[in-house]
Amino acid sequence: MNNNSIDRKFCVAPMMGYTTPYARKLYRILSKKSFLFTEMIPTKTMIHSKKIKDFITNKNQNPIALQVGGSDLKDLKNCSKIAYELNYDEINLNVGCPSKAVQKGSFGACLMQNKILVRECLESMQINRNIQVSIKCRIGLGEKLNYDFFEEFIDEIIKSGIKIVYVHARNAILTGISPKANRTIPPLDYTFVKKIKSKYPSVTFILNGGIDSIEKALEIKSDFDGIMVGRLIQNNPFCLKNIDQLFYNTKEQYDINENTIHEYFDYIKPSIGKESIFRLMSPLLNIFFGIPNSKSFKTVIHNNMQKHKVDILEKIFLEFIKQNNFLMN
Contacts of 78 (CB under 8 A, 6+ apart): 43, 47
Determine the Cα–Cα distance for residues 226 and 11; give it in Å rounded to an integer.
Answer: 7
Q: What is the number of other CB atoms lying within 10 angstroms of the CB of residue 253?
A: 13
Determine the Cα–Cα distance for residues 13 and 233; give it in Å rounded to an integer.
Answer: 9
Residue pair 134/93 in contact by the 8 Å Cβ criterion: yes
Determine the Cα–Cα distance for residues 211 and 217; give it in Å rounded to an integer.
Answer: 6
Put the strands of the sheet holding 226-229 in their side by side order.
10-12, 226-229, 204-208, 164-172, 132-141, 90-95, 64-69, 36-42
Determine the Cα–Cα distance for residues 133 and 158; give it in Å rounded to an integer.
Answer: 11
Within 13 Å and on the Cβ side, how many CA atoms surround 216? Answer: 11
Q: Is 11 a catalytic residue?
A: no
Phi, psi of 159 (to 5 degrees): -60, -20
Partners of residue 228 on adjacent β-strands: 11, 208
Q: Which is catalytic among the residues 11, 97, 121, 137?
A: 97
- The residue among 185, 206, 174, 207 whose CA lies nearest residue 107 is 174
Which stretches of 239-276 are DSSP H helices? 243-248, 258-268
Determine the Cα–Cα distance for residues 134 and 67; give it in Å rounded to an integer.
Answer: 9
Q: Which residues are catalytically annotated?
A: 97
